Structure 1
Amino acid sequence: MAVTLEQLGAPIGTGRTAEVYAWGEGQVLKLMRPGWVADAEEEFEASRRVHRLGVPVPEVFGLEEVAGRPGIVFERVEGDSMLAVAGRRPWQLRAYARQMAAMHWDLHQLPGEGLRDQQDTLRREIAQGEGITEAERSQVLRLLDRLPAGDRLCHWDFHQDNIIISPGGPVIIDWITAQHGNPIADFGRTTMLLEIGELPSRMGRWHRLLAGRLRVHFMEVYAKRYRQLAQPAAAERRDWRTVVFAARMYEVSGIEYRRLLKSLRLELAK
């Protein structure tokens, strides 16, 4: 018998691409939003691959459909996001930032075989980006042409809200953007999200203000620790930063769009 949205009840979590519902004993259903339905099977396969690699991720059980929308059944992980936990324990913020850097470094030691290609993704996103001139687009693509491709596991949306602090340890969620590629690009993407990305809309005004200030410190500690582990060349870091800024342009709007465009043009002018 088909399950309806009404039978699912209220979602226990919401995000840009999906809503999450309780689904049986110890499981959840990640139900894709309209506009993201084609990504369900790819995320399902990516989640299975990273689980087999031994990455701390929720176990994935199968695909379901509710009201014409595909969804993925995952193990239910108890706990709050690192963003929420660190917000309640600001005295531990430095430790969480260093932990996140170490987790990111550990991911980058693993092969990304079978996942989408980072270079293809970047070229497509740069081509779709609005607000940048054709001369700027060409300049970014020339940068990308000379950067090493890489074959490592990259999350591409790695930040505190995608890490659950569970009783058994941190668990990484949301593998919809997983890919194989260069770890320094993935690092650049995370620092960009921490530096420029919008905070979750569910936060109140004053919470967002405080979180924004704390996030700057978190980003600095995270970035310093990751650089200590990976030891990337400064020029390569700078070039990847420019590329990921340009690739992000197609998916943002409002204040984040304006911040990003300003930052991109500053990078291109260097």
Structure 2
Amino acid sequence: MKLTNLISKGQKASVYRDGDNAIKVFNKETNKTDVLNEALNTTRVEETGLAIPSISEVGIENGQWSITMNFIEGKTLSQLIKENPEKKEEYINKMVDLQLEIHSKRAPLLNKLKDKLIRQINSLEMLDSIKKYDLLTRLDGMPKHVKVCHGDLNPNNIIVSNDNMYVIDWVHATQGNASADTARTYLLFALEDQRLADYYLDVFCKKSKTEKRYVQTWLPIVAAAQLSKDKPEEKDLLMKWLDVVEYE
């Protein structure tokens, strides 16, 4: 089948529309394990009842792995923020409500967030053994929870359709501490817009009744995890977060 209706293109995959379906076609170098893991994660999250695309098939399109799911008509939250900047704060509040709903769910078969963070930190060749030890010690001392964590929640991964919000891209989904997931979303905002990041964190902590300082203690850990993605344009800011030991 020849796919022509390209919806979006990312670093690792392109998404096409085919009737009522969205087909995510992965780059040729994508590992089969990664594709199957994303499909499995998404299915396990779907079982929690969250509003997400439903997978109908994992297959091959022109020699490349693909995942077929139902197409959701709408715009990303990122698009809406750009089109309606005066509603930015309203959109962030809705996003926080959605994130709190995600954190309220349980999916016992998802991988553990802590195990993933340990692997990511240990993989960093740019950090010396002392820095890694400090980060791993901090991680080991964090409270252990089993809440569903998206792992990459940001306005690009939320589709708004008829005032309903759907979350996509569950490849990084795990079960773990919600504040770690929040710290990662904060960091993703901060890489683009520090003011919006600060507003997001204020709203999240107020709605969840979480101490801001507690979320901030996760920042060096999630910054190190993000460093493992090896994006040169992010390195300076992420290294800065690693050097912050305590927050006022």
Alignment TM-score, normalising by the size of structure 1: 0.86
Matched, 1:108 2:74: no
Structure 2 counterpart of 1:268, from 220, 245, 248: 245
One-letter code aligned to 1:231: K
- Which of 26, 32, 44 is the equivalent residue of 1:32? 26
Equivalence for 1:72: 67
Distance in 2, Cα, partners of 1:263 & 1:191: 12
> Cα offset for 1:235?
4.4
Superimposed CA distance per residue, residues 163-186 of structure 1 (whole angstroms, 9 cap, x where no aligned partner): 011125111100011111110000
Q: Hey, what does 1:152 align to over in structure 2?
A: 147
Asked whether the equivalents of residues 101 and 223 of structure 1 are also in contact (C-alpha less than 8 Å), the reply is no
Residues 88 and 31 (structure 1), Cα distance of their counterparts in 2 relative to 1, 3 Å cut: same
Tell me if the contact between 1:112 and 1:181 (Cα under 8 Å) persists in the aligned partners: no
Alignment length (residue pairs): 246
CA distance in 1, matches of 2:176, 2:184: 12
Q: Deviations over 1:150-171 (max 9, x none)?
A: 1010000000000011125111
Shift of 1:16: 2.4
- The two structures, once aligned, show a CA RMSD in angstroms of 1.7
**1:56 matches 2:33:** no
Counterpart contact for 2:205–2:212, Cα < 8 Å = no
Return 5+ residue gaps in structure 2 as ranges: none
Over the matched positions of the two proteins, sequence identity in percent amounts to 24
Aligned equivalents of 1:99 and 1:125: distance in 2? 31
Q: Secondary structure, in 3 states, of the residue corresponding to 2:137?
A: helix
Note the C-alpha offset of 1:49.
2.0
Higher relative contact order (CA 8 A, sep 6+): 1
Q: Structure 1: which 5+ residue stretches go unaligned?
A: 197-211
1:252 aligns with 2:234: no
Structure 2 CA distance for aligned equivalents of residues 223 and 128 of structure 1: 28
2:219 equivalent to 1:241: yes
Is the counterpart of residue 183 in structure 1 residue 178 in structure 2? yes
Q: What is the Cα deviation at residue 219 of structure 1?
A: 2.1
Letter of the structure 2 residue corresponding to residue 16 of structure 1? Q
The Cα of 1:50 is off from its aligned counterpart by 1.8
Counterpart position of 2:129:
134
